[in-house]
Amino acid sequence: MTWCLPGCPTNLLAVPGLETPPLAMGGDDRMGGDRVFSFEHVPVMPEEVIHYLEPRPGKTILDSTLGGAGHAAKILQAGAALIGLDQDPNALSHAEERLKEYGNAVVLKQINFAQMLNVGSEICPEGVDGILMDLGVSSHQLDCADRGFSLRHQGPLDMRMNPAEGVDAAEVINEWDEADLARIFWELGEERKSRAVAGAIVRRRGVKPFRDTLDLADCVSQIVGRRGRIHPATRVFQALRMTVNREMESLEAALESAPALLKPGGRIAVITFHSLEDRMVKRFFKSRSQPEIDRPEWPAARSNPDFCMSRVTRRPAIPRSEEVRTNPRARSAKLRVAEKRKVVVS
C-alpha cells in the first residue's frame, strides 16, 4: 500500500547523541507489607524519546502504549498535545489521574494500539506529528499478583492486558495441545527446552489443572532449571503473555497503520524488549525506506510502492550498562526511530 506521493526526496537524518544513550527505566515502588503496588513509572530512555519526537507547542503526539504515563508526562511538559491509548483499564485510570493537570491537551482512549488508525484519525484528522510505541510491560503489571503476570507471587493464570477481552493464560495452558504449547514457548519465548516443558505441562494437567501462577512456575522450573539470576519460567511466562494478548499481531497492525497517521516529517519511535519485536520493527522500517525493491526473477529493480519513510536510527539506541545494572528490566530495551517522507511539490 502506498502512503506517500511519488517523487518525494529521501533524507536520511544524522542524529547526534546515539553514542551515549540516556537513562533507562526504574522499577515501580512497593508499598506496605501486603504487596500493594504503586503504578508509579519511570519510563525507558525518556530523554531520547523527547530528542527524537521533538514535542513542542503546536505538535500532537500519539502515545499508543500509555502505560504508567511516564513518557506522556514528559511530552506534555514539553508543550505538545497528547493522544494516549492503552487497553489496560487500570493503566488508563492511573494516567487520567496523573495527567489531569494538562486539561484539554490530553485525550485518552481505552483501546489496543492495533486499532489506533481509526481513533487517531477521528481525534486528529490532519494527522499527528509523532507516534510512540513502548512495548514493555509495566512494573506494576509484572508485580501485581492479581493480574497473573508474576512469577514470584501467587495469582490467577490470567495475563490479559484487558481483563474483559480474549482468552486467559489458564485456558491456553490447560486446553491447548502439546505441539502448540511447544511452538509458542519456542517461537515467542525462545525457550530451549520448549518440548520438554510442554510435555510436563500436559502430563501434570491430566492429573490436576493449573489454576495459579506459582503452580505453573514451579512445574516449569523443575524442567528448565536455574540459569543465572533469571527465573527459570521467565521465557514460558513471556510466551504466554504474548500469546494471550496477541502482541505480535497487534504490533504488526500498529506498524502498518502508523504511516497513514503521521504528517509528512512526523516520526515514529518504537521501544522493544524482545528480539522478535525488534526484528519486526527493523524489517518494517527497512521495507518502507527503500526506494526500490528487487527479486531474483525480475530483470531489473522496481519502484517500491511502500516507500514512505526514512530511517533516523540505523542502529537502535540502548540503555547504558550502568543503568541496566540499577534496573535489570531495562536490559533488553532497544529504540528505533523513522520519519515519514515530506512531500515536495515540483
Q: Kindly state whether residues 55 and 97 are assigned to the same domain.
A: yes
CATH code of the domain covering residue 42: 3.40.50.150
Q: Kindly state whether residues 123 and 185 are assigned to the same domain.
A: no
Residue 307: name the closest of 3, 31, 28, 90 by CA: 3
Structural domain includes residue 189: yes
Structural domain includes residue 14: no
Q: Kindly state whether residues 99 and 36 are assigned to the same domain.
A: yes
Structural domain includes residue 148: no
Q: Kindly state whether residues 82 and 129 are assigned to the same domain.
A: yes
Structural domain includes residue 168: yes
What is the residue-level pLDDT of the chain in tens, covering all 346 positions? Answer: 333 333 333 332 323 333 333 323 333 332 333 343 455 566 888 889 999 999 999 999 999 999 989 999 999 999 999 999 999 998 899 999 999 999 999 999 999 999 999 999 999 999 999 999 999 877 666 667 777 788 888 999 999 988 888 899 999 999 999 999 999 999 999 999 999 999 999 999 999 999 999 999 999 999 999 877 889 999 999 999 999 999 999 999 999 999 999 999 999 999 999 899 999 999 999 999 999 998 899 999 999 999 999 999 999 999 878 777 777 777 889 999 999 998 755 4
Structural domain includes residue 42: yes
Q: Kindly state whether residues 93 and 61 are assigned to the same domain.
A: yes
Q: Kindly state whether residues 135 and 60 are assigned to the same domain.
A: yes
- Domain boundaries, position 209: 162-244
Show the 3-state SS of 88-99: CHHHHHHHHHHC
Q: Kindly state whether residues 136 and 167 are assigned to the same domain.
A: no
Q: Kindly state whether residues 125 and 209 are assigned to the same domain.
A: no
In the three-class reduction of DSSP (H, G, I as helix; E, B as strand; rest coil), residue 137 is classed as coil
Helix extents (H) in the chain:
46-53, 70-77, 89-98, 116-123, 139-143, 169-175, 178-187, 194-207, 213-224, 234-244, 247-261, 275-288, 321-326
Residue 58: name the closest of 263, 274, 302, 309 by CA: 263
CATH code of the domain covering residue 200: 1.10.150.170
Name the domain count of the chain.
Answer: 2
Structural domain includes residue 309: yes
Q: What's the pTM?
A: 0.83
Q: Kindly state whether residues 171 and 232 are assigned to the same domain.
A: yes
Q: Kindly state whether residues 179 and 235 are assigned to the same domain.
A: yes
Q: Kindly state whether residues 226 and 92 are assigned to the same domain.
A: no
Q: Kindly state whether residues 225 and 133 are assigned to the same domain.
A: no
